[in-house]
Amino acid sequence: MAELAFVDEFKLFDGTCVRFHGRDDGRMVPCGVTAEALKRRDGRLPSNGLIPAEEFIAAYERLAVEIHSAARAKYAAGEREPEGDICIIVRRRDLIT
């Protein structure tokens, strides 16, 4: 198993997380970071109320290096999601505060 690379520009907020793609030797690995993790880690996002999807995408972009590092670590440790269509989910506890 190789290290995850993040070169795909795909980003989508689905209401609960920002989805993005990692690559392992050409194989796409669906990843996501939860809205809660983004709210807790990015001081620019309000902690409650209706927040536009674009704001979550912007927070993801600001924190991309940290999010990708956490996703790589989870992938390397074999911490895959047991069900659903996202393989690696970065949660609040995975991000350094």
As a 3-state breakdown, the chain gives helix, strand, coil percent values, each rounded to 5, of 35, 25, 40
> Rounded to whole angstroms, how far apart are CA atoms 32 and 75?
12
- Residue 29 within a domain: yes
- Residue 4 within a domain: no
CATH of residue 39's domain is 3.30.160.140
pTM of the predicted model, to two decimals?
0.93
- Residue 37 within a domain: yes
- Residue 2 within a domain: no
pLDDT for residue 54 is more than 70: yes
- DSSP helix/strand/coil, 82: coil
Q: Quick: pLDDT tens for 9-53.
A: 899 999 999 999 999 998 999 999 999 999 999 999 987 789 999
Closest-CA residue to 77 (of 92, 90, 96, 62): 90
Residue with tokens 């690379």: 5
Domain count, the chain: 1
Residue 89's domain comprises 11-94
CA angle 34–38–88, rounded 5-degree value: 35
Query: Is residue 68 very low, low, confident or very high in pLDDT (cuts 50, 70, 90)?
Result: very high
